[in-house]
């Protein structure tokens, strides 16, 4: 009967395909074949016997032994897992903090550099600028705050003339003073 | 390796082990998932059922005490196999030391113990295969077992035994030759 013939052909093809797929998925057999080994690879050959229900009560027996020997789970297990997680978070937070500090430092350095470029103006420049603009600052007040070497700009009509003269003369040597014949 | 279709995932087991409330449940699941594969791995190293049972229980006690040391850098399976392998090799080493003091031959002693095991009933070629395996040096036996009996990939074996793939391939090749030589001689 044709249907029976086709069934046999189909079964034979299916068996061949199965055999081919099994061959492909057996790297151990391929490896042993390459070595020319005669060791069989079918699972039944390699099996050993074990008492019936050995695995059924394995967990009970192990827990009983743990209990009998007084083995305690380390109390720190949960906390160690937690500590590890906290440690990871702490490391991340530290990294963010370091980055923050670094950025802040960079900004401060930049601000300092701007200030430093402003400092390149010497006090003489500042004093000259201010003295030529009496409308901005009173010259009397200015003389009180400017550095000593800027007092030479103090006008001679100052009410505190003695101090101004004294300071003015301070840079002169004794010989020069004699020559002045004051 | 445990059957992933019927066993809980490693992530689930580890999540349960992280909480004091669910620790025992997590440990039970761990034993259920890995008890069988670890037993067979140990059994083929120590070869006697009673010894395998002892070593398996010791392995799980170590795991119970030290699970917090698992850092997740490797697969849980790899970490457990490493503990089981070390435990089995330590057991064999201590047994060998005992035998050294009693002037007994280690290899023959292991073969005799295996033959006396009521759970060892192999015969013919299978019997000679296991006798040959018992005569392999312990570390080479571990390599042979992982590859031949458990069909583990060399990459996975390298992670468990902390050895290079090349060294493992060479070790397996030599082990196969030794086993075949023994079988031929006994069949002679």
Q: What domains lie within chain B, and their CATH numbers? A: 1-105 (1.10.1740.10), 122-188 (1.10.10.10)
Whole-prediction pTM value? Answer: 0.64
What values do phi and psi take at A121, rounded to 5? Answer: -70, 125
Q: Which residue has the higher pLDDT, B19 or A89?
A: B19
What are the backbone dihedrals phi and psi of residue B151, each rounded to the nearest 5 degrees, phi first?
Answer: 50, 40
Q: Tell whether the model's pLDDT for residue B114 goes beyond 70.
A: yes
Cβ atoms of B2 and B37 closer than 8 Å: yes
What is the C-alpha separation between A37 and B88, in angstroms, rounded?
Answer: 28
What interface predicted TM-score (ipTM) does this complex get? 0.82
Task: Give the residue on A whose Cα is nearest the Cα of B25.
Answer: A59
Q: Which residues of B92-112 are buried (b: 16+ CB within 10 A; e: fewer)?
A: beebeeebeeeeeebeebbbe
Neighbours of A55 (CB within 10 A): 14
The answer, yes or no, to whether residue B174 has pLDDT greater than 90, is yes
Q: Could you tell me the two tokens for A53?
A: 């229900």
Kindly state whether A34 is in contact with chain B, defined as any CB-CB distance less than 8 angstroms.
no
pLDDT in tens, B72-103: 888 999 999 999 999 999 999 998 888 776 65
B56 close to B44: Cβ distance less than 8 angstroms: no
User: How many other CB atoms are found less than 10 A from the CB of residue A28?
Assistant: 16
pLDDT tops 70 at residue B59: yes
CB contact at 8 A, B110 and B52: no
Q: What is the mean pLDDT of residues B61-71?
A: 88
What's the CA gap between B154 and B172, in Å, rounded? 10
> Closest residue of A to B28, CA-based?
A59
B18/A77 Cβ within 8 A: yes
Q: What pLDDT is attached to residue A47?
A: 80
Instruction: Inspect the interface and report whether the beta carbons of B119 and A62 lie closer than 8 Å.
Output: no
SS3 content of chain B, % helix, strand, coil (to 5): 75, 0, 25
- For the ranges A7-21, A51-65, A81-95, A133-147, the lowest mean pLDDT is seen at A7-21
B101–chain A nearest CA distance, Å: 29
Query: Between chains, do A32 and B179 touch, taking CB under 8 Å as contact?
Result: no
Nearest-angstrom CA–CA distance, A180 and B15: 99
Cα-flanking dihedrals φ and ψ of residue B103, to 5°?
55, 30
From its phi and psi, is residue A51 left (phi > 0), alpha (psi between -120 and 50) or beta? beta
| For chain A, domain boundaries | 123-180
Closest CA to A45 of B148, B48, B118, B126: B126
CA pair distance B8, A171, nearest whole angstrom = 95
């Amino acid at each position: 009967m044709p249907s029976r013939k086709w069934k046999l052909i189909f079964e034979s093809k299916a068996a061949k395909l199965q055999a081919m797929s099994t061959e492909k998925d057996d790297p151990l057999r391929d490896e042993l074949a390459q070595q020319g080994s005669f060791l069989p690879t079918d699972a039944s050959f390699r099996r050993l016997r074990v008492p019936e229900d050995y695995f059924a009560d394995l967990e009970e027996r192990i827990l009983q032994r743990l209990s009998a020997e007084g083995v305690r789970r380390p109390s720190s297990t949960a906390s160690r897992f937690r500590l590890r997680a906290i440690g990871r978070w702490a490391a991340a937070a530290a990294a963010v903090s370091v980055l923050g500090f670094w950025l802040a430092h960079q900004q401060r350095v930049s601000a300092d550099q701007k200030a430093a470029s402003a400092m390149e103006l010497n006090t003489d420049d500042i004093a000259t600028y201010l003295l030529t603009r009496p409308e901005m600052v009173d010259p009397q007040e200015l003389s009180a705050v400017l550095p000593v070497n800027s007092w030479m700009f103090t006008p001679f009509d100052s009410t505190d003339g003695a101090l101004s003269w004294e300071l003015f003369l301070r840079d002169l040597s004794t010989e020069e003073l004699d020559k002045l014949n004051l | 390796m445990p059957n992933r279709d019927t066993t809980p995932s490693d992530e689930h087991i580890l999540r349960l082990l992280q909480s004091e409330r669910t620790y025992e449940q997590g440990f039970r699941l761990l034993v259920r998932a890995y008890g069988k594969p670890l037993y067979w791995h140990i059994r083929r190293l120590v070869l006697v059922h009673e010894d395998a049972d002892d070593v398996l229980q010791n392995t799980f006690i170590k795991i119970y005490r030290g699970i917090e040391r698992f850092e997740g850098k490797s697969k849980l399976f790899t970490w457990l196999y490493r503990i089981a392998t070390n435990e089995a090799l330590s057991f064999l080493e201590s047994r060998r030391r005992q035998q050294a003091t009693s002037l007994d031959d280690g290899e023959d002693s292991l073969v005799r113990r295996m033959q006396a095991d009521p759970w060892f009933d192999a015969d013919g070629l299978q019997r000679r295969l296991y006798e040959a395996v018992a005569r392999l040096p312990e570390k080479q036996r571990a390599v042979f077992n992982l590859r031949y009996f458990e069909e583990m990939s060399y990459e996975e074996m390298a992670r468990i035994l902390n050895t290079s793939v090349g060294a493992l391939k060479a070790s397996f090749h030599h082990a196969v030759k030794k086993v075949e030589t023994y079988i031929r001689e006994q069949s002679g």
